[in-house]
Structure 1
Amino acid sequence: MKLVFVYNADSGPVSGLFDIGHKLFSPETYQCGLCSLTHDTFSEKQAWKSFREESAVDMEFLHRDEFEKKYGESHEYPVVLRSNGELDLVLSKNDIDAIGSVEELIGKIRSLVS
């Protein structure tokens, strides 16, 4: 089993710079709840990085353009999917938007895989 995390952002340096600017100047309108939970303005949050590195669960992280190219599917992003031969939605955009902290996200991920 693998968890696939899909960010509501496109890949590439221009998109990355746009995202940084958006986080700095208008964070309340930033449209990727998963990005906000797992990353600060310039880097991955330490609690998330530690969890990700120490977890026995296989995880894949993709931007929406990378995901759609690789899997040929589209969703309302961000999402977390479980890949076990097929892709199953485990956390929707609404689920992710309701999560208040990286610690809460980690708890939800742990409950999904236990």
Structure 2
Amino acid sequence: MARTDASDKTARLILVYNADGGVLNALKDAAHKIARPATYPCSLCALTYGWVAMHSDWRRFLFRLPLEKVFLHRDEAAKKGLAEEWPAVLLDAGQGVPEVLVPASELNAMQHRSELMALLLERLKDTGIVAR
């Protein structure tokens, strides 16, 4: 991974969910997570959200990261030309195309958000965004 100046204030963490935006879609997603959680298609959402709200430990983790956070649904990300597989966590260091930090294949294999937090922190350290 490319190193980035840790003082770069333009860096953004982009979290792309494998779900479409909108109130009706959010209601359908919540019902799907409750009724058939094993078949829910967005592992990022399943890891970081309860039925409707973000898990507090994940929220605290994100809040402490020294970069802007952008949350997108797949339909919004597609319009921006970001990534090709959803879900994904990207880093936009302001130097062109955002880099995929955590691809769908890794997110889909995770069992708990603590795995995601540890991996994301390590990858942000590798880029220099977060100090070692």
Do both share a fold (TM > 0.5)?
yes
Q: How many residues align?
A: 113
1:91 maps to amino acid: V
Unaligned runs of 5+ in 2: 1-10, 126-132
1:70-103, Cα deviation, whole Å (9 max, x unpaired): x224511101112122212221111101122111
Aligned to 2:92: 83
Where does structure 1 differ by over 4 angstroms across 4 or more consecutive aligned residues?
A: none
TM-score w.r.t. structure 2 length?
0.80
Richer in helix (by share): 1
d(CA) in 2 for partners of 1:14 and 1:58? 27
Matches of 1:64 and 1:36, distance apart in 2: 15
1:99 to 88, 110, 117: 110
Residue identity over aligned pairs, in percent, reads 32
| Structure number, greater radius of gyration | 2
Q: Counterpart in 2 of 1:25?
A: 35
- Code of the residue aligned with 1:93 in structure 2: it is A
Partner of 1:47: 57
Q: What is the rounded CA distance, in whole Å, between the counterparts of 1:18 and 1:3 in structure 2?
A: 26
For the residue of structure 1 that corresponds to 2:13, the secondary structure is strand
Normalised TM-score (structure 1): 0.92
RMSD value, Cα = 1.2
Give unpaired runs (5+ residues) of structure 1. Answer: none
Task: Give the structure 1 partner of residue 17 of structure 2.
Answer: 7
Q: 1:75 to 1:5 in 2, by over 3 A?
A: same
